[in-house]
Amino acid sequence: MATNRTFTMIKPDGVANDHIGAILNDITKGGFKIIALKYTKLTAENAGEFYAVHKGRPFYNDLVTFMTSGPIVAAILEKDNAVEDFRKLIGATDPTKADAGTIRNKYAKSIEANTVHGSDSDENAAIEGNFFFSQFERF
Ligand code: RTP
Ligand code: MG
């Protein structure tokens, strides 16, 4: 059964290009409730651990460098069928292939600087939410 939570980050390009407010608005209008929210900056160690699944891929080192290049916004979101519906809201990894109206279509500049992260499974949503938030930071 699909759980009702997913995890997202507004990546360094989304923050640097002043899209935090617009993206949170899109998320809310998309029917997601924000149940945890944090403005922070990843260390290389944090980013390496978060993206460990991609270790060894050609883009891994650039991804870690990019994800540590500036502050990010992390959030846990709640909605029925959250993981799948959120990935629809953000669009394809490559923004040139993202459907019109999706967050990546509207704000992303490249496959790397693609503005938002969305968990790819219920299991990873729980792992990623726990990576950023304690039980005292989710409501
Ligand atoms: P995310 O995990 O950030 O939500 O993105 P995703 O599921 O759509 O894509 P994924 O395959 O998990 O890749 C993670 C992030 O790595 C960067 N990437 N660069 N240069 C490349 O070919 C390439 N491929 C992936 C992107 O920033 C992608 O979001
Ligand atoms: Mg992914």
- Residues 107-120 have a mean pLDDT of 97
Tokens of 18: 């002043």
Residue in 38, 33, 35 with CA at minimum distance from that of residue 20: 38
Torsion of CA 90, 113, 70, 137, to 10 degrees: 20
Backbone angles phi, psi at 57, to 5 degrees: -75, 155
Q: Is residue 117 annotated as a catalytic residue, yes or no?
A: yes
Distance, CA of 51 to CA of 32 (rounded, Å) = 24
Per-residue pLDDT reduced to its tens digit, 36-95: 999 999 999 999 999 999 999 999 999 999 999 999 999 999 999 999 999 999 999 999
Q: How far is the CA of 51 from the centre of ligand 1 (A)?
A: 9
Residue with CA closest to ligand 1 atom 1:
117
Specify the amino acid at residue 77: L
Sign of the CA dihedral with 50 first, then 73, 75, and 109 last:
negative
Instruction: Write the single-letter amino acid at 6.
Output: T
Residue 102's domain comprises: 5-137
Distance 18 CA to ligand 2 centre (A): 23
State in Å: Cα 34 to ligand 1 middle. Answer: 23
- Torsion on CA atoms 58, 61, 66, 67, rounded to nearest 10: 110
pLDDT per residue over 17-30, tens digit each?
999 999 999 999 99
Q: How many domains does the chain contain in total? A: 1
- Rounded to whole angstroms, what are the CA distances from 76 to 9, 25, 104, 110, 136? 9, 15, 19, 24, 13
Residues with CB under 5 A from ligand 2 (ion): 120
Domain containing 65 — which CATH number?
3.30.70.141
ipTM: 0.95
Pocket test for ligand 1, best of 54, 67, 114 (most atoms within 8 A of CB): 114
Beta carbons of 95 and 104 less than 8 angstroms apart: yes
Radius of gyration of the chain (CA): 14
Ligand 1 site, residue 60, Cβ cutoff 6 A: no
